Amino acid sequence: MDITFINVCDFIGTLAFAISGIRLASAKHFDLFGAYVVGLTTAIGGGTMRDVMLGLSPFWMTNSFYLICSAIALVWVIIFRKLLVRQNNTWFLFDTIGLALFTVTGMEKTLQAGFPFWTAIIMGSITGAGGGVLRDVFINEVPLIFRKEIYALACVIGGFGYWICARYIVPPLYCSIICASLVILMRFLAVRYRLHLPVLKAEDESKKAQN
Amino acid sequence: MDITFINVCDFIGTLAFAISGIRLASAKHFDLFGAYVVGLTTAIGGGTMRDVMLGLSPFWMTNSFYLICSAIALVWVIIFRKLLVRQNNTWFLFDTIGLALFTVTGMEKTLQAGFPFWTAIIMGSITGAGGGVLRDVFINEVPLIFRKEIYALACVIGGFGYWICARYIVPPLYCSIICASLVILMRFLAVRYRLHLPVLKAEDESKKAQN
Amino acid sequence: MDITFINVCDFIGTLAFAISGIRLASAKHFDLFGAYVVGLTTAIGGGTMRDVMLGLSPFWMTNSFYLICSAIALVWVIIFRKLLVRQNNTWFLFDTIGLALFTVTGMEKTLQAGFPFWTAIIMGSITGAGGGVLRDVFINEVPLIFRKEIYALACVIGGFGYWICARYIVPPLYCSIICASLVILMRFLAVRYRLHLPVLKAEDESKKAQN
């Protein structure tokens, strides 16, 4: 197997996603097994949801690469625990590369399955951000992407970029590159300028809305 | 596309479900994107679980209607935020219509796929009440339908009504109408007379049951 | 239908899983319907996740056995509520038998679908332990299997046992028996000697890892 640029991005993205899951699990005093499962879920959860909805076999079921990546992430966290905070910028970079790649992969797989573009944008966003939602459900927290700075929205914006380019007959490869670049750009701007969406104000009696 | 009575019910039901999700998300200080995702999940989550288990493509992947409905719900909540409490009776009515329609849709789709009636009743209930469970998982609360007045049980009762009618060779259309009417009736009775099921008493040492 | 040894194990395993869900639901003051749903989810949740990922219809959709089992479990908890604590050793035994059987079933189904062995091990573990994770998500707790004594890891060890035996051309039936025995042995050892995996130490600033 030739190692391509995509493979490298996939590796560092999976690593970064798994490490984010393992770190949060360790903050909640999960044991090694639990931390591994949360890390793995963060890395493969989004793509699994996408594949199940597309009616495909989840991608990791025929490729042990992602399980091994998550194991490397676990070993990394154990060994470099005290250095992880200092590596935060690196992990942010890797996480962003992963987010961009996963969004593009999710979109392409959905378009290949014959679904419309807006479905592809949703599937791209689920591929990128869905694992983090599952991770937060497992550690029993409100999913961060619903409350904090722009994360899943970067996937949506990247997806719209793909769509617009494809409309103007830009070749698919360039659409993908533009989509990934937009995701990365949005994430950097969001973190650099602390961009976030407005929070909906609560009504006093909003509890009554629940059925 | 002709707009049918079913389309209208689908619209107001989806709207009511999305609004319930958006209101609860705003009570938890979700941002606009998070509120939209929770609203959308409340509206389409139950049907998505059903379709995945039936081996079908989730219904919303080929029809942008539900995404647009949820967007309308978001705009509605932003604009009429202070009036929502006064509209509670209307939203209760719309939510109930949605619950009835989604239950019938879920049952019919399951029967068409060749599954037995009791599976259809479960799928009808999941279609009606599953989105609310996902909503409550996302906002990190214990699902309300497990603790409060009769909600999913109304779907189950409607489903049994469908089953009994179908046994006595009532034509499918009338079965559906009877099912929907039963769901609506049960919900009204449940809220009017505060009907709820008995709560299981906890043992002192129930924690030990967990593995 | 002849009642086989497997049927008996399936019955007591399903019963034990459902009872564990119902007891925890009652500790959280769920109503009867909620307790039943949580019990049922504990019993069938793992197998449902497996079947959805394998692209099969969930096993319980064509066999009402599991719904009836869960109903029996509910009645049992209501009637014998005060005696349940004294029955804890029995339920531990039944739960362990269920865990072993579900692991073997999950592995066999995955291997029959043509997936590699390591996928079968994961699917076996999901079949055994996935229902408990869903149960804990529904009752809004951090999944216990991520924090407490060895549980899902017993499935993984049993799965490796199956793999090694199959490599040395042991007939499938014996592989299954060895796998089940390993799961049961591991669970007994784990509880008897309070075996658990080390907990990952939290970094001070682990929160920063979250995106």
Cβ contact C35–B198 (<8 Å): no
Range in A75-89, A103-117, C182-196 with the lowest mean pLDDT: A75-89
How confident is the model at residue B189, as a pLDDT? 94
Cα diameter, chain C: 59
How confident is the model at residue B37, as a pLDDT? 96
Tell me the C-alpha distance between B75 and A74, whole Å: 43
Cβ contact C209–A20 (<8 Å): yes
Mean pLDDT of C38-53: 97
How confident is the model at residue C208, as a pLDDT? 46
Which residues in chain A have Cβ-Cβ distances shorter than 8 Å to C150?
33
How confident is the model at residue A87, as a pLDDT? 82
Contact A69, A11 (CB under 8 A): yes
State which amino acid sits at residue C75.
V
pLDDT mean across residues, chain C: 90
Which residues in chain B have Cβ-Cβ distances shorter than 8 Å to C144?
210-211
Model confidence at A205: pLDDT above 50: no
Model confidence at C204: pLDDT above 60: no
Is residue A111 very low, low, confident or very high in pLDDT (cuts 50, 70, 90)?
very high
Tell me the C-alpha distance between B101 and C94, whole Å: 41
pLDDT digits (tens, 9 = 90+) for A8-61: 889 999 999 999 999 999 999 899 999 999 999 999 999 999 999 999 999 999
How confident is the model at residue A145, as a pLDDT? 85
How confident is the model at residue B139, as a pLDDT? 94
Which residues in chain C have Cβ-Cβ distances shorter than 8 Å to B54?
57
Q: What φ, ψ does residue C199 adopt, rounded to 5°?
A: -90, 135
Quick one: tokens of A187? 């994430």
Mutate to test the interface with A, among C28, C49, C146, C186 (most CBs of A within 10 A): C146
Model confidence at C209: pLDDT above 60: no
CB-closest option in B52, B141, B206 to C23 = B206
Tell me the C-alpha distance between A2 and A137, whole Å: 37
Cβ contact C37–B118 (<8 Å): no
The strand pairing partners of C199, in sequence order, are A31
Sequence-distant (6+) residues with CB within 8 A of A131 are A17, A21, A41, A42, A43, A44, A45, A46, A47
How confident is the model at residue C88, as a pLDDT? 85
SS3 content of chain A, % helix, strand, coil (to 5): 75, 0, 25
Quick one: tokens of A63? 């490729």
Cβ contact B209–C32 (<8 Å): no
Is residue A208 very low, low, confident or very high in pLDDT (cuts 50, 70, 90)?
very low
Q: Which residues of chain B have pLDDT under 70?
A: 1-2, 202-211
State which amino acid sits at residue C96.
T
Tell me the C-alpha distance between C21 and C43, whole Å: 8
How confident is the model at residue C179, as a pLDDT? 96
Sequence-distant (6+) residues with CB within 8 A of C61 are B53, B115, B119
Of B55 and A88, more confident: B55
- Residue C106: count of CB within 10 angstroms of its CB: 29
Assess A211–B contact: CB distance below 8 Å, yes or no.
yes
Is residue A200 very low, low, confident or very high in pLDDT (cuts 50, 70, 90)?
confident
Tell me the C-alpha distance between A17 and A43, whole Å: 5
pLDDT digits (tens, 9 = 90+) for C53-72: 999 999 999 999 999 999 99
Closest CA–CA distance from residue C87 to any residue of chain A (Å)? 29
Find, among C107, C99, C106, C89, the residue nearest to C184 by Cα.
Answer: C99
Helix (H, G, I), strand (E, B) or coil at A201: coil
CB-closest option in C119, C198, C208 to A32 = C198
Mean pLDDT of C97-111: 95
Cβ contact C25–B200 (<8 Å): yes
Contact B125, B152 (CB under 8 A): yes
Tell me the C-alpha distance between C73 and C95, whole Å: 13
Quick one: tokens of A28? 């909640």
Place of tokens 């679980």: B49
State which amino acid sits at residue C93.
L
- State the DSSP H helix or E strand holding residue A148, giving kind and residue range, or none if neither: none
Assess A58–C contact: CB distance below 8 Å, yes or no.
yes
Find, among A132, C85, A200, A85, the residue nearest to B29 by Cα.
Answer: A200
Model confidence at A108: pLDDT above 60: yes
Place of tokens 């941002």: B31
What residue ranges in B10-155 does DSSP mark as E strands?
none
How confident is the model at residue C83, as a pLDDT? 84
Which residues in chain C have Cβ-Cβ distances shorter than 8 Å to A95?
211
Crossing angle of helices C32-54 and C5-27, in 10° steps, is: 130
Assess A194–B contact: CB distance below 8 Å, yes or no.
no
Alpha helices in A55-87 (DSSP H): 65-79
Closest CA–CA distance from residue A81 to any residue of chain C (Å)? 7
A169: left (phi over 0), alpha (psi -120 to 50) or beta: left
Is residue C86 very low, low, confident or very high in pLDDT (cuts 50, 70, 90)?
confident
Model confidence at C181: pLDDT above 90: yes
Contact A13, A98 (CB under 8 A): yes
Contact B80, B58 (CB under 8 A): no
A·B CB contacts under 8 A: 115
Model confidence at C6: pLDDT above 50: yes
pLDDT digits (tens, 9 = 90+) for A142-153: 998 887 778 999
Model confidence at A62: pLDDT above 60: yes
Place of tokens 């497990």: B146
Find, among B180, B192, B93, the residue nearest to B149 by Cα.
Answer: B192
Assess A83–B contact: CB distance below 8 Å, yes or no.
no
What residue ranges in C83-209 does DSSP mark as E strands?
none
Q: What is the ipTM score, two decimals?
A: 0.90
Q: What φ, ψ does residue C150 adopt, rounded to 5°?
A: -55, 120
Cβ contact B88–A209 (<8 Å): yes
How confident is the model at residue B104, as a pLDDT? 95
Check the CA dihedral A192-A193-A194-A197 and report its sign. negative
Tell me the C-alpha distance between A6 and C69, whole Å: 49
- Residue C80: count of CB within 10 angstroms of its CB: 12
- Distance from chain centroid for Cα A52: 17
State which amino acid sits at residue A104.
V
Tell me the C-alpha distance between A190 and B128, whole Å: 37
Find, among C177, C165, C133, the residue nearest to C152 by Cα.
Answer: C133
Which residues in chain C have Cβ-Cβ distances shorter than 8 Å to A84?
203, 206, 209
User: What's the first-to-final CA gap in chain A, in angstroms?
Assistant: 54
List, as ranges, residues 24-53 from B with C-beta within 8 Å of A: 24-35, 37-38, 48, 52
Contact B119, B112 (CB under 8 A): no
How confident is the model at residue C1, as a pLDDT? 53
Tell me the C-alpha distance between C96 and C94, whole Å: 5
Assess A61–C contact: CB distance below 8 Å, yes or no.
yes
Cβ contact A55–B58 (<8 Å): no
Place of tokens 């949740």: C45
How confident is the model at residue C169, as a pLDDT? 84
How confident is the model at residue B205, as a pLDDT? 44
pLDDT digits (tens, 9 = 90+) for B143-153: 988 877 789 99
CB-closest option in C35, C81, C140 to B142 = C140
Is residue C160 very low, low, confident or very high in pLDDT (cuts 50, 70, 90)?
very high
